[in-house]
Amino acid sequence: MGFRHGKRRHFGVTVVVLVALLAGLFPGTAGIGSAASITSTELRPFPQHVTYTAGTIKPNHVTQTQMDAEVKLLYNEYKKKYIKQNPYNSNQYYVWYNDGGWNGDAITVSEAHGYGMMITALMGGHDSQAKTLFDGMYRYFRAHPSSQSPDLMAWQQANRNGSIVDINGTNSAIDGDMDIAYSLLLADKQWGSNGTINYRAEAIKVINAILNSEVHPVHYHLQLGDWVQISGTNPDYRNATRPSDFMLQHLKEFYQATGDARWLLVINTTYNIIEDVYASYSPSTGLLPDFVYRDTNGKYKPVSQFTWNTPDGYFLESEFDGDYNYNSCRTPWRIGTDYLVTGNNRAQQQLTALNQFITAKHDEPWEVWSGYSLDGQTKLSPWDGGMDFTAPLMVSAMISSNNQQWLNDLWDYHTNASNPTALEWNYYYGNSIRLLSMIVASGNWWTPTGAN
């Protein structure tokens, strides 16, 4: 099926790249930037210091220079640990995601790959190897197409019998595809599209494939992957969508890049789902569920509102599919970024309710639960303070000066002045989300067109 995969981690500046063999410096990444001299021009080098929507905030107890430095240090550690060269093809790179060993012999998924491509495009100028790594990730993506939609990525790979192969289905997951498409739009603005890779043209190919294969053709909600439209299963996953995929700012850039008016329908539908689910199921918390489902009356509801005829009785991944869990922990970052960048206030009430709920319930970031029922009363796991649940709250906190102290506390919690470069052990998911959230919180998330 391609999605019941348990990937949820239970737990202008011109630079000349003088590359060397880095096996000793970066264990497991031998040969990053093979022995060659490459010239690249960063048009939007890190840091960018973007001005977000009026009235929004950033951490105000540290300087901009300090924030930039923290992001650089964390990126350097992320690069060392997670960006790997394909041992069988030196022109390809991927993002290793199985440091916790939660996923058998799998080495990566398209979700991780999308994160890595966005991160390297944004960090060009700081990292002189960023273009080399990005291009290698692009080539890896193209080497692993979905069997259903060749311009999308097969969602999971493993290193088996002397080659990297697709496993557990050769179809796609929409979150990775959306981030890959967005990263290619970033690359077009960062390095231009007149080189070996026409980033913009490749982005449009992926964007069109997402629209044709991962968006409901009638109701215009985002679907889970390209396997959905041909699944013919019970449940009918064609009616499902996932709030952690509600990358509204991505969607607006997709419309700008293609001019396809169907993207406007997708954007409107996505806002409508946020507004309706929040108003009906979590008005006092602003929490959104991992998965929602379109009922026969046209209303989108948490999947916990239905009974599922599946072997385990779960909708897709676990008994918490209808709760705020390891998927939706990303929604404060995904939805909050849209408000910061575009100023569209259609999700502002939901984000405000979320901020108010979290700050009323918890005094310190380390107290934040790793999973909540939508009413905020039931704790879903024994762990508190997980990076995947706390880092996105930095982004949602930025929407109002009412959250200034909470934002400052979250920044400190995730930088830890005594050890600012440390990555959490065995925690790809949280480490990746933290870095992306800190890029936003430091004012360094820029967009291809500034679409609103």
Q: Which residues are catalytic?
A: 111, 175
Distance CA 434, CA 438 (A): 6
* Nearest-5° Cα angle at 18, 97 to 95: 5
**Can you give the three-state secondary structure of 224-258, one letter per residue?**
CCCCHHHCCCCCCHHHEECHHHCCHHHHHHHHHHH
Distance CA 390, CA 411 (A): 10
- HSE of 101, CA atoms in CB hemisphere, 13 A: 1
Element (H, E) at 415: helix 404-415
Distance CA 78, CA 151 (A): 27
Cis, bond preceding 235 (omega within 30 deg of 0): yes
What six digits make up the tokens of 72? 């650089």
Task: Residue 34: count other Cβ atoms within 10 Å of its Cβ.
Answer: 14
DSSP 214: S
Distance CA 194, CA 40 (A): 12
